[in-house]
Amino acid sequence: MSRLQAATAFVARFLVLVLAVGTAMIVVGATAYLVLLHRAETQVPDVSGLTLPQAFRELQRFDLYPELAAEEWNDAQPPGTIMRQEPAPGGRARVRSEVKLVISKGAGKVTIPDLVGSSRRQAELVLQQLKLGLGRVSRVPRRGATIDAVLAQQPAAGTAVGPGQTVDVAIAAPAPELLYVAPDLRGMDLRQAYALIERAGLAVEQVFEVSAPLPAGTVTDQEPAAGFLIHAGAAMTLHVVAGAAGPAPAPEDSEAAEPAPRFAGDSDFVFAVPDLFAGETLEILAIGKQEKATVLFSGAVTPGQRLEVSYIRADVDHLEVRSGAELLYREDLPEE
């Protein structure tokens, strides 16, 4: 073999060796880089309380990625914020790995309890325990009800609401004393007048004898006057033509006995005051068949107040509720 051929063969072997060594070094370096990259770790930041976009940006700063693991109800954590994370804050994690996040859905729903029948204080305590609040309290006069007892509520029991919701209640207040219209006794016989007064729950305080061209025992005047508002049990004063036989009523089983006259309050009318008439003065009028008006009630009212009055049915054509000259309500009575 010539010297030229020998030199060429040596150079070829040298180049092959260099190429093999270089290739091996590249493979080893790449492998080492991948191993180091796989084993590289970073500190896990605390993203609790952040929103998901905020948490994503914070994790990116540490070469980490978020993974939405679950959503849970939480009364203390605002909806859409991070409740928990895995790995925990301060721990170590591989770079470019995922951090599992649990997101708050906010407070859960609360079922409104049945408050009707409980006292106002009891209702308030029950609502506080459920993280609810007592809203508007309306006082409604209710005869026979326990004072301060809850009569109604809004929203109704069983309604699902969020924490902090308020519940409006109506509670029982002392009912005003019922007022009656004094009956017209003029022209009646004293016995009839006594019978009517007793049936109306009234009393006779005094009887004055007067002279008049009328049959003995005829009632000529009275106090209070007919149509005046009086309380149950009120006492009346009568002026009677002298010579009356006495107040004893005729026996009920007597065939000659006249039909007992109607008494004050043989019919009742109830009107609930709407909210928009707070503080106004309302009147309840009994309108007779000859358009004669009798005032059954007149006074300032409060929202929800129940106005209860009595009247003599035979003398009334219809009832009206007025505020000044404005007609608020009319009830026509059927023919008897």
Residue 261 has pLDDT above 50, yes or no: no
- CATH architecture group of domain 41-104: 2-Layer Sandwich (3.30)
Residue 316 pLDDT grade (very low, low, confident, very high; cuts 50, 70, 90): confident
The answer to whether the CB of 217 falls within 8 A of the CB of 240 is: yes
Give the pLDDT of residue 149: 92
Question: Domain spans of the chain?
Answer: 1-37, 41-104, 119-173, 179-241, 267-332
Mean pLDDT confidence for 181-196: 86
Element (H, E) at 310: strand 306-311
With 90 as the cut, is the pLDDT of residue 21 above it? no
Q: Is the pLDDT of residue 248 over 50?
A: no
Buried b (16+ CB within 10 A) or exposed e, 84-106: bbeeeeeeebeeeebbebbbbeb
Higher pLDDT, 285 or 88: 88
pLDDT at 293: 76
Query: For the structural domain made of 179-241, what CATH number should be given?
Result: 3.30.10.20
pLDDT (tens digit, 9 = 90+) per residue, 47-78?
A: 999 998 999 999 999 999 999 988 888 878 88
CA distances from 160 to 111, 114, 133, 155, 288 (A): 4, 12, 14, 9, 52
Output the pLDDT for position 264. 43
Mean pLDDT computed over 85-113? 89
Per-residue pLDDT of 122-168, as tens digits, reads 999 999 998 899 999 988 877 678 889 999 999 999 998 888 889 99
Nearest one of 230, 244, 243, 233 to 309, comparing CA atoms: 230
Higher pLDDT, 31 or 137: 137
- pLDDT score recorded for residue 305: 82
Range scoring the smallest mean pLDDT among 35-44, 253-262, 274-283: 253-262
Looking at per-residue confidence, does 182 or 265 come out higher? 182
- What's the confidence (pLDDT) of residue 262? 35
| CA 193 and chain centroid, separation | 50
User: Taking a C-beta distance cutoff of 8 angstroms, is the pair 181, 296 a contact?
Assistant: yes
| 3-state percent helix, strand, coil for the chain, nearest multiple of 5 | 20, 35, 40
Q: What is the pLDDT of residue 255?
A: 39
* Assigned CATH topology for domain 267-332: Immunoglobulin-like (2.60.40)
Q: Measure Cα distances from 83 to 68, 103, 219 in Å.
A: 11, 6, 88
CATH of domain 119-173: 3.30.10.20
Q: Is the pLDDT of residue 179 over 80?
A: no
* Residue of 276 and 218 predicted with greater confidence: 218
Average pLDDT, the chain: 80
Higher per-residue pLDDT: 89 or 282: 89
**What single-letter DSSP state applies at residue 149?**
B
- pTM beyond 0.75: no
Confidence (pLDDT) at 260: 36
119-173 matches 41-104 in CATH topology: yes
pLDDT higher than threshold 80 for residue 242:
yes
Residue 213, burial from CB neighbour count under 10 angstroms (0-12, 13-18, 19+) = exposed
Query: Which pLDDT belongs to residue 259?
Result: 37
Which one is predicted more confidently, 196 or 123? 123
> Is residue 220's pLDDT more than 60?
yes
The dihedral built from the CA positions of residue 289, 290, 295 and 301, taken in this order, carries a sign that is positive
